[in-house]
Amino acid sequence: QSLSAKFTAAAARVAARVPGGLANEPLARIRANDDAIQHATTLGPVLRVYAKAGVDGRAQLFSILLEELLADEDQQKEEKVAT
């Protein structure tokens, strides 16, 4: 099961911004705004994204997202060659 399949739509929006280099607090604000939560400075939403992904932090999440992206690209190339 792909990592993105583990996320809700809101959590996926946070995870998609990790490679862009946003710090945890701005990521938490994005997630908080999506859920209309008034506690924008809490890191809880970001930590839940890490927990759902089964990682301890940003570097591990980035690594998994990158691996999946590269695997998808490789699969698309293989499909083009096969056709």
Q: Is the pLDDT of residue 38 over 80?
A: no
- Tens digit of each residue's pLDDT (9 = 90 or more) over 12-22: 777 787 777 77
Note the pLDDT of residue 39.
45
Q: Cβ distance 43 to 32 under 8 Å?
A: no
How many other β-carbons are positioned within 10 Å of the β-carbon of residue 41?
A: 8
What pTM did the predictor assign? 0.50
Q: Cβ distance 40 to 28 under 8 Å?
A: yes
